[in-house]
Amino acid sequence: MPPQTPSQSTETLEKQVTGATVWLTGLPSAGKTTIANELAGRLRAEGRKVEVLDGDEIREFLSAGLGFSREDRDTNVQRIGFLAELLARNGVLALVPVIAPFADSREAVRKRHQAGGTGYLEVHVATPVEVCSVRDVKGLYAKQAAGELKGLTGVDDPYEAPEAPDLRIESHTQTVQESAAALHALLTERGLS
């Protein structure tokens, strides 16, 4: 194998250490985690350091004991935001498929990243509630309709959609691969892939 020239070494090093957080927000069953996992697979195949911070796993291991009150949801989002920023400033691309229903809570995470000079992108997976309720990956919409669940985001609990996300993905109008490709293109455009 031929030795790398100094410019090649520098380019490789820069690519490895540029971290950022990509927060995918949207309703339950919008496709956030599916898109994040598809993109993560593509980026890992390119040699990129990527972590997917799945909301359900975070609740189990990092935010156990938190409920779904406004205060608990904000606490959960801030914990995830802290972890994502920590990973990002250490060269990892953190993909965060987490509902984060309140705009002010997401904005606080963005400001934490900006204060540290860490890249942050907000992606709205803008799937209509009617489509999400048909997908109903975890059976939440069925439980809510049956009266077994209260406080379902976007149904009987608020969801504040981003007004100006870095990218809006309508996962109900395109394939998972197309959605991941659109996000990959944005990362490339911003120098983060």
- The secondary structure element, H or E, covering residue 134 is helix 129-135
**Encoded amino acid at 157, one letter:** D
The DSSP string of 1-57 is -PPPPHHHHHHHHHHHH--EEEEEE-STTSSHHHHHHHHHHHHHHTT--EEE--HHH
Collapsed DSSP state (helix, strand, coil) of residue 97: strand
Cα(40)–Cα(49) distance, rounded to whole angstroms? Answer: 9
**Binding site, annotated residues:** 26-33
**Binding site, annotated residues for ATP:** 26-33
Q: How far is CA 88 from CA 43, 71, 93, 160, 192, in A?
A: 15, 25, 6, 25, 11
Q: Are 58 and 77 in contact (CB under 8 A)?
A: no
Q: Residue holding tokens 């007004």? A: 163
Beta bridge partners of 157: 153
